[in-house]
Amino acid sequence: MPRKKRFRRIQVPPVIKGMSVYGVRGRKSNEVILHIEEYEAIRLLDYQNLTQEEAAVFMDVSRPTLTRIYEEARNKVATAFVEGRDLLFRGGDIYFDKNWYKCNSCHASFSDYSEVVKNCPVCNSDDLLSLNEYYSK
């Protein structure tokens, strides 16, 4: 029996929920789902230019596991680009170091170490979305 999959640590949630193709209609059923750990691998390796060893430490996985995650992410992004499909960021076996929230009123994203946040620090609204719960689906 295979070992249970280990959760991957994510430092910062994506600032967007995905990307849509410009100029192509009727493609909603052809979405490519990029898991949050795949997004994080691209962010650490390509955006922050970390080595695979450094990125693996940040994500709390082994280097070979990070390589597999990164390969899958590159394949999904290439499929979305070449076939003109939307790219959505969702799900995965992840956890955040901090509790992340997004305000539905002013659209600000912020983090907090406390268990429950009641109001947005920017606009003081109580209409908040827990990004930890949203992305862990």
Residue extents of the structural domains in the chain: 1-13+23-97, 98-137
How far CA 9 is from CA of 59, 80, 128, in Å, comes to 5, 25, 23
- Residue 48's pLDDT is 95
Residues in the chain: 137
More confident residue, 67 or 25: 67
- Residue 132's pLDDT is 73
User: CATH classification of 1-13+23-97, choosing from 2.30.30, 1.10.10, 1.10.150, 2.40.160?
Assistant: 1.10.10
To the nearest 10 degrees (0 to 180), the angle between helices 52-59 and 63-83 is: 100
| Average pLDDT estimate for 88-108 | 83
Average pLDDT score over the chain: 85
- Residues 59 and 44 sit within 8 Å (Cβ to Cβ): yes
pLDDT in tens, 45-72: 999 999 999 999 999 999 999 999 999 9
